[in-house]
Structure 1
Amino acid sequence: MRFFCFALFIVVFSCSKHKTTRTKLNHLIPEHSSVILKASNIESLKSALQNNDFIQKLSKTNSYKTLESKLEALSLLHPKGDLLVCFSNDETDSLQYSVVTKYHKNLFKTDSLANYIEETLTHKNTTITKSNLNNNTFYSAVVDSMFFASSSKKTVDAAFLHVNRNAELEKIYNTTGQNKSLSLIMKSDNAFIKTLFIEDSIPLKNFSNYFAVDADISQDEILINGITKATDSSESLIHVFKNTVPQENQIQNITPSNSDGFMSFTFDDFNAFETNLSKFNKKDSIASSTLFDNIAEIGVIFEDAQRAIALNSIDVIATKDALLSELNIIDTYRQIEIYSFSETELFSNTFYPLITYNSATKYCVLDNFFVFAENMELLQNIIANYQNKTTLSQQSYFKDIKANLSDQSSLLMVVNPSILKSILDKNLQNSSNYNLDKYSASALQFIYDTNFAHVNGIIKKAKTRGYQNSISEEFNIKLDADLLNQPQFVTNHITKQKEIVVQDVNNKLYLISNKGRILWKKQLQGAVLGNIEQIDIYKNGRLQLVFATPNRIYVIDRNGNDVAPFPKKFNDKITQPLSVFDYDKKKNYRLMVTQNKKVFMYNVKANIVNGFTFKSANKTINSQPKHFRMSGKDYLTFKTEDHLYILDRTGKTRVKPKTSVNFSNQAVYLYNNKFTTTTLNGELVSVDTRGNTATQNLNLSDHHHLETTSKTLVTLTDNKLTIKNRTIELDFGNYTPPKIFYLNDKIYVSVTDLQSQKIHLFDSQAKPISNFPVYGNSQISLDNIDKDRNLEFVTKGDSDAIILYQMN
């Protein structure tokens, strides 16, 4: 598992050009490579690795630290597409690596590296660059428009002569997915990962030939999906499941929750399975005990050094008949009879190397399960947990991981933190101490299918279940730099769920999944003004992000790409957030740009809408233009410090207020069918469709905030929050403007005290929502972001982090 960390440290050095003959990255994979990493978005991967709890725990191991130091110089790579990192061991058993990606002129930068030295070499009239950073030496060149770097000059030399046309490797390579956090291609006989299993009797090199898996990495889990394949069915353990059909795994229903885990294997035809296993063990197939004739699943339950064997019978009477000679009762526990068992080596003789245990001297029967063990306490523990319904299958953390696994599998292993660590320690050399206590259950699953097997795996940090009305933190994600604005939700048009967009102080825009995975980052020219909107520019159901920065309008698709002809550049500064209008709900969008006194109306082709006649206000516009529709008529509103403009869609005056006041910079709202805002001295101003104007003294200070829906008015002045004429006195602090959310037929009002870093949430009656306030450093965005009924909200945490909470 440690190789998930390597892509954090990949970099690049100088290069030269060469005549093109190779067309794919995998054509440059060195022949001796035994582990290959593929990343399609290196920036997203770096963030995923930085935020993943499990990988950060592994970063404390000596193996990780050694590799991090050795690969230090590989941290400046900026590929635009897929990137491969290939690992191998040389003749002295030292780690070698190679990097392959498409070359482009901004692939890497070395100017700011104080300890960087480079030297130009030649190889058959082709330039190779020798680079040294902090005493680590690398060699690089451009081979057929692809950048190739390696810690071995011999490997770079060979890249000019060798095209890797390994047909089997290419098939395996092509099974990896696109846009995954990371893909791993691994020969089973490699020098880095020795085993994936509890028992030493199942080394990885004997299990199959190749693994090709995609990893989806989020803050608290790593999901693995892919295949494993073996070319010779008699030499690889995975092929013992050939000509059998995977059955439903049920050993979890009898495994105690206080055990270390279990391994389960299934088949629909024991004779076929036994024949395959005999071929693998290179021994003649002999008739085994009739005990297994009606067994669909065999499991090994682990508890410290003890083992129990569980048989899942599809014909309990027939299986009992096979045990007629083993009916000597030696004890009774909780009314369950425990029998002696004489064939102690039966399981290891029949199922080696899957089972090596040969000390089973006792057994009991629990419904359709026949459980064998040597240790009486282990049998009693299994009986007690089964009767008490405290087995592994009843635990919430097991249910969480089971949701990512198939119900049927040929081979399934589920382990607790101590076993997970012991497996990792077998692969990590000189590892230091690290704690995996919160990884209550991890799983690896193989599902045999013709001549290969599907692979599923999950390593997930268990979460404390939120009790009813509680607030639980779902994730806390760090960005590359401090946040510039508050995070907000946007809609994923594919899943219909919500994702998060946020910008950092380097003007980098992030799209983050509702599981906490950074999907992409995009460099912008300037800070986003106001909220980001979404439009369907092609009218095909696919949504794009649309917004303005001080000198540009952006339209960005789901993958982070600009949608032509955007971004549109402006010489004069844009002074208000971009206003997006869809008058008739037919996706004929209008984009209104505000520049001081002037407004300009554009269509989605970035052309001026000639029919819009309004050109300039009397003074600087101090609020974002808005669109309202009443009684079939459109109203466009914005204001200056002393004038409220209410226009029709062509820019002509539709309503002229019959009085003039000094307006605040608060937005214009439609409240009780009137255009509503506030004055500079805190009075409420309402204008009806005939221009009649009314003011109301709300006792607001000069520094106040207003937000409304059509029927709900909320104000904040100093520490007084008023919701529908009900006033709450908050602690003195520095509060964000209130925000109103209407969800599930209920009004929510939020404010955040930036001084005490507390988020407050109230209902429409000004009553606090249970378990608030909670920690936060910005306004929130509140919505139902996934498929459950619970609401979630996102906020700024530390200066460089966002937090997603769930209201249970």
Structure 2
Amino acid sequence: MSNKSILAIIAFFVVIAIGFLGYLYIKNPSRKEVDSMHAVPSDAAIVIETNDFQDLFKKLNYDNLIWQELIHLDKTKRLNQQILFLDSLFQYSKPIKQTFQNSSVIISLHKTGKEKIEIIYLLNLPAQMNPHQFNEMISKISLSGKITQREYSSVKIYEIAFKSGQDRKKVSYAVSDGVIMFSFSSILLENAIRQLDLATSINDHAGFQKVAATSGKNVEANIYINYETFPKLVSVFLSNRYRQQVTQFIQLAEWTELDVNIKDETILLNGFTFTNDSMNNCLNLFTGQSPQNLEMDQILPANTVAFIALGINDFAKFRKNFNRYLERSGQINSYKNSLKKVNEALDKDIEKLFYSFLEGEMGIVFSDLKNLTREENTYVVFKTKSKSLAEESLTDLLRNYSRKTNQQFSSFVFSYQVDAETSWLIYQMPLHFLPEKLFGGLFAGGRCEYFTFVDNYMVFANSIQALSKLIHNFILHKTLYNDIQYREFSDYLSSRSNFFFYLNIPKSPAVFSDYLNAKLQKGLDKQFSILKKLQAFAIQFSSNNSMLYNNVFLKYQSEFKEEAQTVWESLLDTSIQFKPVFVTNHYSRNNEIFIQDQNNNIYLINAAGRILWKIQIPEKIIGNIFQIDYYRNNKLQYLFI
């Protein structure tokens, strides 16, 4: 065979090979493959990643009672409608369902414009599918409207018009670099397309990488929170008065990752928060602090709506971290000047004084006690090393101040007479806003003009009446800790933490309505029955090496029960055996209450609601209660069978 013939044969096979490769390229062109997370626009506030979108959808919409209530709220309803649309794509076509079975889906939330929150949905195009095939599958789905096409940055964007209830809606989607992008905001979709062209993404953020490395695998979803933009998203829901304040929380931390666990009546999130010391994150205040057993709830009223408690095991270190934070954020001069004025007025180093007796925990509390204003229902609480030590330190301060100002010390001391046998001292602090001046805006609980001591806790409030009511509830054992629903809720939480936020959702409108914007508040007022079915919400975090470990918990309740408000109400060991019987105190001639509980304990309760005595007897009382003067000495005894 001649050389020409051999060359001709080789050329023939080369042409065939090139043609075949060209055919394969046309049928399934090669594409640049990137992780769908790369397409998340950098201003994302919340990023949700689920490895099984259809399973997440099922658990939320069919199994979880909380979500079934929340979707009746306008804001949540919109999100759920979008999720329904995405799920319909998977469910409508068997090939699509099979192709995207167990596919990872990313849901990214963004603040757009002045008061809007928009969402983009991202997932990777399967390896065996090209964009043309995906578009063909979408075009076969009937959406009561037409599909239009436009081009942006050399990427084809498809807009699908469809009917949702009485409204016409439009969703846009595009496929680029192997990433499928859906959004009801065309602007957000364009942002994602531009993001794909950038060399870096949130995947390259050191903070994101830190928390992503801790994410759970066998969970319903992973939630990532970006603190640089999250406060701006939250501000959408707030009134103008508080909108600017919340945006200052961009320095709170860097990133948080939360694993999502969904049950019938609960949603539990847990994971880690990364704080960057070089960025002066506020949560660096808890660096080196061991989680504490927070026991503040043992003195708080049962009608507590919300509280924030901080667990501090080393106040010297906390003081150092706090001053460092103020210095690096440019607030230290203002802080020191404010305390200098306090020190000069009181002739005392107030910062040094407080840190000398503080121990374990401090916090701010919002209650819903009757006949108190919203400001009066606010308390600031500090745990002390010793009640006697703290009380002695502060009474000495008041005595010195009264001498310096030529006032009577007694003018700063008040006695709350609980009943004939019990009284309680309440003090007036001559300088106001002291907790806020010492520990910052978190402790902005009003003037904090008065304080008292309950066990080892020092409690500030804005009126004598407010402290009197807190004391009265404590004496009656009507505390948050003794509330059965709160105790059951707390069983889901960690016993030790450095931060604990608790919110009783059904009671929250009484305290927090001013925080919400008018439109949202109006909507919640109309839909308050929904809030009543959400028992409570809690956030905890604990220092854990170089990061913070978080617990977030939300619980459902089928029925909201209002507390009884009778004057004799007190915490008995069990439920009562019979209707309370009014008896007469032979000294004061005042009415008192005689009662028996299911454990055969009998109680005598005075008009203030305080238990005077409790005695267990062998059997249940089956007859009437009589008072007799058996010894004929003008003292009454009880006769019953």
TM-score by structure 2 length?
0.62
Say if 1:123 and 1:234 are closer, same or farther in 2 by CA, change over 3 A: closer
Q: Which residue of 2 aligns with 1:401?
A: 489
Q: Which residue of 2 aligns with 1:140?
A: 173
Q: Which residue of 2 aligns with 1:373?
A: 461
Q: Which residue of 1 aligns with 2:315?
A: 270
Q: CA deviation at 1:126?
A: 6.1
Check whether the contact 1:18–1:142 (CA below 8 A) recurs between aligned residues: no
Mapped pair 1:103 → 2:187: no
Letter of the 2:467 partner, please give it: L
Q: What are the ranges of 5 or more consecutive residues in structure 1 without an aligned counterpart?
A: 1-15, 466-808
Q: CA deviation at 1:114?
A: 4.0
Say if 1:367 and 1:197 are closer, same or farther in 2 by CA, change over 3 A: farther
Say if 1:172 and 1:40 are closer, same or farther in 2 by CA, change over 3 A: same
Q: Which residue of 1 aligns with 2:204?
A: 166
Determine the C-alpha separation between the residues in 1 that align with 2:554 and 2:259. Answer: 14
More deviation, 198-207/255-264: 198-207
Which runs of structure 2 are paired with 1:178-193 in the superposition (5 Å)?
Answer: 178-188=217-227, 189-190=229-230, 191-193=232-234
Which runs of structure 2 are paired with 1:319-398 in the superposition (5 Å)?
Answer: 319-325=390-396, 326=398, 328=410, 329-334=413-418, 335-342=422-429, 343-398=431-486
Q: Which residue of 1 aligns with 2:56?
A: 45
Q: Which residue of 2 aligns with 1:82?
A: 104
Q: Among residues 533, 537, 545, which one is paired with 1:442 in the alignment?
A: 537
Q: CA deviation at 1:251?
A: 0.7
Say if 1:336 and 1:376 are closer, same or farther in 2 by CA, change over 3 A: same
Check whether the contact 2:288–2:543 (CA below 8 A) recurs between aligned residues: no
Other structure's SS at 1:46 match: helix
Which runs of structure 2 are paired with 1:53-132 in the superposition (5 Å)?
Answer: 53-67=65-79, 73-78=85-90, 79=100, 80-90=102-112, 95-104=117-126, 111-120=140-149, 128-132=157-161
Higher relative contact order (CA 8 A, sep 6+): 2
Q: CA deviation at 1:76?
A: 2.2
Q: Among residues 34, 37, 47, which one is paired with 2:45 in the alignment?
A: 34
Which runs of structure 2 are paired with 1:750-765 in the superposition (5 Å)?
Answer: none
Check whether the contact 1:194–1:426 (CA below 8 A) recurs between aligned residues: no
Q: CA deviation at 1:405?
A: 1.8
Q: CA deviation at 1:302?
A: 1.2
Which runs of structure 2 are paired with 1:639-718 in the superposition (5 Å)?
Answer: none
Q: CA deviation at 1:308?
A: 1.7
Q: Which residue of 2 aligns with 1:591?
A: none
Q: Which residue of 2 aligns with 1:298?
A: 362
Say if 1:224 and 1:39 are closer, same or farther in 2 by CA, change over 3 A: same
Q: Which residue of 2 aligns with 1:252?
A: 297
Say if 1:96 and 1:441 are closer, same or farther in 2 by CA, change over 3 A: closer
Which runs of structure 2 are paired with 1:457-606 in the superposition (5 Å)?
Answer: 457-462=552-557
Q: CA deviation at 1:242?
A: 2.4
Check whether the contact 1:208–1:230 (CA below 8 A) recurs between aligned residues: yes
For residues 77-118 of structure 1, what are the alpha-carbon distances to aligned partners after superposition, in whole Å with 9 as ceiling and x for unaligned? 434222101222446765443222232469875635242422
Q: Which residue of 2 aligns with 1:487?
A: none
Is the strand fraction higher in 1 or 2? 1
Q: What are the ranges of 5 or more consecutive residues in structure 2 without an aligned counterpart?
A: 1-26, 91-99, 337-348, 369-373, 400-409, 561-641
Q: CA deviation at 1:205?
A: 2.9
Say if 1:309 and 1:81 are closer, same or farther in 2 by CA, change over 3 A: same
For residues 453-501 of structure 1, what are the alpha-carbon distances to aligned partners after superposition, in whole Å with 9 as ceiling and x for unaligned? 2221211124679xxxxxxxxxxxxxxxxxxxxxxxxxxxxxxxxxxxx
Say if 1:318 and 1:453 are closer, same or farther in 2 by CA, change over 3 A: same
Determine the C-alpha separation between the residues in 2 that align with 1:59 and 1:248. Answer: 36
Say if 1:300 and 1:154 are closer, same or farther in 2 by CA, change over 3 A: closer
Letter of the 2:385 partner, please give it: I
Mapped pair 1:155 → 2:191: yes
What is the aligned residue count? 450
Other structure's SS at 1:260 match: strand
Say if 1:76 and 1:171 are closer, same or farther in 2 by CA, change over 3 A: farther
Say if 1:91 and 1:379 are closer, same or farther in 2 by CA, change over 3 A: closer
Other structure's SS at 2:332 match: coil
For residues 703-761 of structure 1, what are the alpha-carbon distances to aligned partners after superposition, in whole Å with 9 as ceiling and x for unaligned? xxxxxxxxxxxxxxxxxxxxxxxxxxxxxxxxxxxxxxxxxxxxxxxxxxxxxxxxxxx
Say if 1:231 and 1:442 are closer, same or farther in 2 by CA, change over 3 A: same
Q: CA deviation at 1:399?
A: 1.9
Check whether the contact 2:433–2:449 (CA below 8 A) recurs between aligned residues: no
Is the helix fraction higher in 1 or 2? 2
Determine the C-alpha separation between the residues in 2 that align with 1:95 and 1:211. Answer: 20
Q: CA deviation at 1:341?
A: 2.6
Check whether the contact 1:25–1:146 (CA below 8 A) recurs between aligned residues: yes
Other structure's SS at 2:59 match: helix
Q: CA deviation at 1:266?
A: 1.9
Which runs of structure 2 are paired with 1:176-255 in the superposition (5 Å)?
Answer: 176-188=215-227, 189-190=229-230, 191-194=232-235, 200=242, 204-232=249-277, 235-255=280-300
Determine the C-alpha separation between the residues in 2 that align with 1:76 and 1:216. Answer: 24
Q: Which residue of 1 aligns with 2:590?
A: none
Determine the C-alpha separation between the residues in 1 that align with 2:534 and 2:117. Answer: 30
Check whether the contact 1:209–1:236 (CA below 8 A) recurs between aligned residues: yes
Determine the C-alpha separation between the residues in 1 that align with 2:498 and 2:276. Answer: 18
Letter of the 2:288 partner, please give it: N
Q: Which residue of 2 aligns with 1:455?
A: 550
Check whether the contact 2:506–2:533 (CA below 8 A) recurs between aligned residues: no
Q: Which residue of 2 aligns with 1:567?
A: none
Q: Which residue of 2 aligns with 1:313?
A: 384
Determine the C-alpha separation between the residues in 1 that align with 2:122 and 2:153. Answer: 21
Other structure's SS at 1:193 match: helix
More deviation, 136-145/373-382: 136-145
Determine the C-alpha separation between the residues in 2 that align with 1:419 and 1:269. Answer: 34
Check whether the contact 1:181–1:217 (CA below 8 A) recurs between aligned residues: yes
Q: CA deviation at 1:224?
A: 1.7
Letter of the 1:32 partner, please give it: D
Say if 1:123 and 1:414 are closer, same or farther in 2 by CA, change over 3 A: closer
Say if 1:214 and 1:337 are closer, same or farther in 2 by CA, change over 3 A: same
Determine the C-alpha separation between the residues in 2 that align with 1:194 and 1:99. Answer: 23
Say if 1:446 and 1:197 are closer, same or farther in 2 by CA, change over 3 A: farther
Determine the C-alpha separation between the residues in 2 that align with 1:160 and 1:414. Answer: 40
Determine the C-alpha separation between the residues in 2 that align with 1:324 and 1:387. Answer: 23
Determine the C-alpha separation between the residues in 2 that align with 1:212 and 1:270. Answer: 28
Say if 1:398 and 1:448 are closer, same or farther in 2 by CA, change over 3 A: same
